[in-house]
Amino acid sequence: MKKLLIFFAVIIITAIFSTAIFGQDNGWDQYSGNPIINPDTSGWNQGMVSAPMVIMFKDTLRMWYMGDSLYGFNGIIHIGYAWSLDGITWQQYSENPVFSPQQGEWDYPHIFYPQVIADGDTLRMWYGGGDIREGDAVHRLGVMCIGYATSVDCINWNRHPEPVMEPPHPTAWDQDGVLPGGVIKEDGIFKMWFDGGVGPYGYPPASSKWSIGYATSSDCIHWDLLPSPVISHGDSSTDFDESIAGDAYVIRTNAGYDMWYHGHSHTAVVIGKPQGKIGYASSSDGIVWTKYDKNPVLNPTSVSPQWTTGYYEPSVYFDGALFHMWFTGWDELSGFIAIGYATSPLDTSHYPTGMEDDLLTQTPIEYNLSQNYPNPFNPATTINYEVSEAGFISLKVYNLLGEVVATLVNEDKPVGTYELTWNAENLSSGVYFYRLQAGSFVESKKMILLK
């Protein structure tokens, strides 16, 4: 909780001084100190750092991101890990990378575009794998599929041995590859907005066309795909996403869903290559989307000094007052690829007319009781739980005889996410159970006191 309070304190200070340290861009303030994460001078990520994926997990901002030892997808691409209290200063894991392609397997030589969600105490990651540059004698052009892995500590990942999503067939709209996009979990169902298309991804020739599709799964592995994209690339040379609409990041709202995504257009070029920008769209059901008519909402040319020529791969977090976005900046003039940061206040005046009630809540969609941490513990441990409907909440601790040894919560609670610390200094070592009850919802978990 202390870390969370520090983060919110930094947010308040940032909001007060935003006019001084940020550059305004269609509702977004870009941090003047960008980039916030740079490539190292040597090692696994000296060629680039990109595709940040940020979530709040156990009161700390966690980021997974791509790194390449060579410039522009020409080396072996891995995934690294970092954490932060304020969203600007990041501590990179000293033993990075934490996730790498396996030589001779389907995901070699590139692992890219991680999408991570916290599902209780389990972190779930979907990632792109294969060769983003070109096809080979065995695979069709693209050779890009989606893999899946899980972790409980942000660092050590257990991967599913096979892709969980592949290009469906040679004539489909996503025939040349699929890449992971935003994932959320609702009522036990995982929903993904993924990239798919025809032609190479990244910096494509004019023939490449990529869009955003939609899929659902009950087990994270077997996915049901809609036959057509839910957000298509633009159909006019004046559209910022005329060639590619991709890298979707989706969050839940009162009225439905908000999405930020990157777009390419062949009419906006730097030294002959498309210039990426960030767009916004909204939906009531996650399937029918309305693009913001003033897109893009984040543009590299709107800040001074301009540190990059293109923006890609947005990741967005909402803290109750500000939207926070981390994104890739790719400068075609210098070959520099790094991670930038921007914020936007809770203000929908820059969104389409009629969207005033489409405010982000990120309130829990279902009840959830997380595993305590640390576990085993001595003598204190932390318990997190989520309340999806206001009402009476009971959280009690029991011994092996079924006797109540502690009552942690026994009162009405509004909708929200909660954290508490339990000190068991007066109890003996052993196995205990803690039980959350809210209406008809009941869940119990085991913990071990080890003195």
Task: Give the DSSP per-residue string, 46-114.
Answer: SSEEEEEEEEEETTEEEEEEEEESSSSS-S-EEEEEEEESSSSS-EE-TT--SB---TTSTT-SEEEEE
Average pLDDT, the chain: 83
Residues 288-316 pLDDT 10s: 999 998 899 888 877 767 888 889 999 99
Select the more confidently predicted residue: 26 or 374: 374
> CA 16 to CA 33: how far, in whole Å?
17
Q: How is residue 352 written in tokens?
A: 């389409």
Q: Which of 254, 178, 165 is nearest to 212 (CA)?
A: 178
**CB under 8 Å to 401, separation ≥6 — which residues?**
none
Residue 163 has pLDDT above 90, yes or no: yes
Say which CATH topology domain 368-449 has: Immunoglobulin-like (2.60.40)
Residue 346 has pLDDT above 90, yes or no: no
**What secondary structure does DSSP assign to 136-181, as a single string?**
-SSSPTT-EEEEEEEESSSS--EE-SS-SB----TTSTTTT-EE--
> CA 240 to CA 267: how far, in whole Å?
8
> How distant, in Å, are the alpha carbons of 185, 370, 385, 420, 423 from that of 121?
14, 6, 11, 15, 21
Residue 10 — pLDDT band, cuts 50, 70, 90?
very low
Give pLDDT, residue 304: 66
Give pLDDT, residue 4: 45
Give pLDDT, residue 267: 66
Lowest mean pLDDT among 88-102, 108-122, 136-150: 136-150
Select the more confidently predicted residue: 179 or 363: 179
Give pLDDT, residue 306: 80
Give pLDDT, residue 362: 47
Q: How is residue 312 written in tokens?
A: 């890609």
Residues 416-451 pLDDT 10s: 788 899 999 999 999 999 999 998 899 999 999 999
3-state secondary structure of 300: helix
Select the more confidently predicted residue: 286 or 177: 286
Q: Which of 307, 315, 243, 301 is nearest to 273 (CA)?
A: 243
Give pLDDT, residue 228: 94
> CA 391 to CA 73: how far, in whole Å?
51
Select the more confidently predicted residue: 361 or 344: 344
> CA 419 to CA 432: how far, in whole Å?
19
- In sign, the C-alpha dihedral spanning 77, 83, 88, 94 is negative
Select the more confidently predicted residue: 167 or 44: 44
Q: In sequence order, what E strands does 106-143 have?
A: 110-119, 122-130
Residues 349-384 pLDDT 10s: 444 433 334 434 445 567 889 999 899 999 999 998
Say if 2-350 and 368-449 have the same CATH topology: no
Give pLDDT, residue 9: 42
Give pLDDT, residue 427: 95
Say which CATH topology domain 2-350 has: Tachylectin-2; Chain A (2.115.10)
**CB under 8 Å to 116, separation ≥6 — which residues?**
53, 55, 62, 64, 123, 124, 125
**What secondary structure does DSSP assign to 209-268, as a single string?**
EEEEEEEEESSSSS-EEPSS-SBPPPSSTTSTTSSEEEEEEEEEBSSSEEEEEEEE-TTS
Sorted by where each begins, the domain ranges of the chain are: 2-350, 368-449
Q: How crowded is the C-beta side of 439, counted as CA atoms within 13 Å?
A: 8
CB count, 10 Å around CB of 60? 16
SS3 content of the chain, % helix, strand, coil (to 5): 5, 50, 45
Mean per-residue pLDDT, 229-237: 91
Q: How is residue 67 written in tokens?
A: 């790194």
Select the more confidently predicted residue: 201 or 330: 330
Give pLDDT, residue 408: 96
Residues 59-102 pLDDT 10s: 889 999 999 988 767 789 999 999 999 999 999 999 999 999 99
pLDDT above 70: percentage of residues in the chain:
82
Give pLDDT, residue 126: 98
Element (H, E) at 316: strand 310-318
Q: How crowded is the C-beta side of 287, counted as CA atoms within 13 Å?
A: 7
Residue 139 has pLDDT above 80, yes or no: no
Residue 23 has pLDDT above 90, yes or no: no
- In sign, the C-alpha dihedral spanning 355, 255, 296, 15 is positive
